[in-house]
Amino acid sequence: MLTGKHLIAGDWVAGATTFASTPAHGPAQDFAVGTPALVDQACRAAAAAFPAFAATSRDTRADFLDAIADEIEARAEAITEIGSRETGLPAARLQGERGRTTGQLRLFAAHIRAGDYLDRRHDAALPDRQPLPRPDLRMIQRPIGPVAVFGASNFPLAFSVAGGDTASALAAGCPVVVKGHSAHPGTGEIVAQAIVAAIQSCNLPAGIFSLVQGGKRDVGEALVQHPAIRAVGFTGSLGGGRALFDLCAARPDPIPFFGELGSVNPMFLLPAALAARTEALAKGWAASLTMGAGQFCTNPGIAVVIDGPDAEAFAAAARTALEPAVAQTMLTDGMASAYRAGRDRMAAGAGVRALLTTHCDGRSATPNLFEVDAADWLADHRLAEEVFGPLGLILRVRDAAEMQAIAESLQGQLTCTLHLDDADTALGQTLLPILERKAGRILANGFPTGVEVADSMVHGGPYPASTNFGATSVGTLSIRRWLRPVCYQNLPEALLPADLR
């Protein structure tokens, strides 16, 4: 049952005003509107709960994460029903995303039980060392404090209320204050119910988790500027993320802002691979472009090919593969409108040629395909900007040297992909040192839609893909965002953190 309220440190709190949800189908519901005063209340509660939560054992926090996963699964049918209604995503997609969400929670539970993330180091005292003795030095990673998390629009579960940012922060021992996304407030509330149930069953402080729904820009600004907040996790647009990043940097005490801001995820189709697998590559690209109406930050929006007969055949095959695609419902009316604006911007670019132009209205999206020559693409930076939706751009280059120039010109990306055969190895060796400076993940002979939750995964990259090139928002390494190293010199055993004794 939905309350339409905020969750503030264990209490369901109504607001003075409400907003109506905008579901893809079914009736709208009213939810309380967040305010800076509610943010302050949640952040103060998080700060009060932090010392006790940071002192809990790894086993206690791991049991808590497992309990959240159990509580989410206990609400599986309700989550799927309201999630589908609010977002328009099919039930199968939401069921898979729910599994990813609970899988992340259980992965972090196992990760902190193992303890390797603590990076414990010990340099024993050398009292007889000359010319000076060495003190006893011990180092460990410690939680930084309350974390602000912004729910993402395109992943109502895996990047939202109990998503990767929340899971990794709680695993580290950091309380979390979530700014829920207004595109799926009901889904967010049910997940929050699961978290508060786990808090109660594990007998943990209520202040370690709060959810503030809706609200205008002042709510997000109040959250990132609150003195109790020590770091921010964000997944969303470049404009919104950059504004919050600047606020974090302008604080009297600047804090890290870990923003994942999107990417065009270019693919480089090398000559031998393109000649050998033209149709298969085109079909695979079309499937990746249209998956989930193209609403993935890893959507491969650009295919770089060397001009010639194989490029012509690839363009024709891609168009053939995209033409039968049916309209899909986008997550919000605003996203659908932005997709159409991006399509029109692309179509108006100098030298851009339309291969497939479709028309859609309302909240629906259909694929579009364009092509452009390298010189025109390099001359217009707008052609390198992300279009969030099922739109593809074929970028034709004259030769391998111009393909290398395209790679050099790229801004930061979440992913870059090389499609290559054995005969392409030399060109691949030339491109790889460039691409590894541009992206957090480099693929060979695959498509980047689909981010494995695993120890080795990196979901981040140089700006503007993300605001911190040394971090990832997926995988167990993401816990390092909410930790800082502390060195203890000559401390008595009784004063050391339990994990250092």
For residue range 168-188, list pLDDT tens digits in order: 999 999 999 999 999 999 999
Q: Is the pLDDT of residue 82 over 90?
A: yes
Contacts of 205 by beta carbon, 8 Å cutoff, 6+ apart: 48, 49, 52, 53, 175, 199
pLDDT the model gives residue 1: 84
CA-to-CA distance for 477 and 458, rounded, in angstroms?
A: 8
What is the widest separation between alpha-carbon atoms in the chain?
Answer: 80
CA-to-CA distance for 380 and 239, rounded, in angstroms?
A: 19
Between helices 217-225 and 238-250, what is the axis angle to 10°?
40
CA-to-CA distance for 266 and 318, rounded, in angstroms?
A: 16
CA-to-CA distance for 437 and 416, rounded, in angstroms?
A: 10
Q: Is the pLDDT of residue 243 over 90?
A: yes
Encode pLDDT of 453-489 as tens digits. 999 999 999 999 999 989 999 999 999 999 999 999 9
Mean pLDDT along residues 198-204: 98
Mean pLDDT along residues 221-229: 98
pLDDT the model gives residue 214: 85
Average pLDDT, the chain: 96
121-123/137-143 β-pairing: antiparallel
Mean pLDDT along residues 344-365: 95
The catalytic position among 189, 260, 386, 402 is 260
Q: Which of 81, 159, 89 is nearest to 330 (CA)?
A: 89
Phi, psi (rounded to 5 degrees) for 343: -60, -45
Res. 279 pLDDT band, cuts 50 70 90:
very high
Q: Is the pLDDT of residue 67 over 90?
A: yes
| Residues 442/436, Cβ–Cβ less than 8 Å | yes
State both tokens at 289.
């472009």
Q: Is the pLDDT of residue 347 over 90?
A: yes
Beta bridge partners of residue 11, listed in sequence order = 8
pLDDT the model gives residue 68: 98
Res. 325 pLDDT band, cuts 50 70 90:
very high
260 assigned to active site: yes
The catalytic position among 43, 174, 248, 297 is 297
Count CB-CB contacts under 10 A for residue 124: 10
pLDDT the model gives residue 416: 98
State both tokens at 388.
């969030």
Q: Where are the alpha helices (DSSP H) in 361-485?
A: 374-379, 400-409, 425-438
Encode pLDDT of 355-408 as tens digits. 999 998 899 999 999 999 999 999 999 999 999 999 999 999 999 999 999 999
CA distances from 238 to 231, 245, 413 (A): 18, 10, 12
pLDDT the model gives residue 216: 86
Q: Is the pLDDT of residue 205 over 90?
A: yes
Contacts of 220 by beta carbon, 8 Å cutoff, 6+ apart: 150, 179, 244
| Residues 243/234, Cβ–Cβ less than 8 Å | no
Q: Is the pLDDT of residue 11 over 90?
A: yes
pLDDT the model gives residue 195: 98
pLDDT the model gives residue 137: 98
State both tokens at 482.
């909410």
Res. 215 pLDDT band, cuts 50 70 90:
confident
- Helix, strand, coil % over all residues of the chain, rounded to 5: 45, 20, 35
297 assigned to active site: yes
% of the chain with per-residue pLDDT over 90: 97
Threshold 0.85, pTM exceeds: yes
364-365/391-397 β-pairing: unpaired
Res. 262 pLDDT band, cuts 50 70 90:
confident
Encode pLDDT of 110-152 as tens digits. 999 999 999 999 999 999 999 999 999 999 999 999 999 999 9
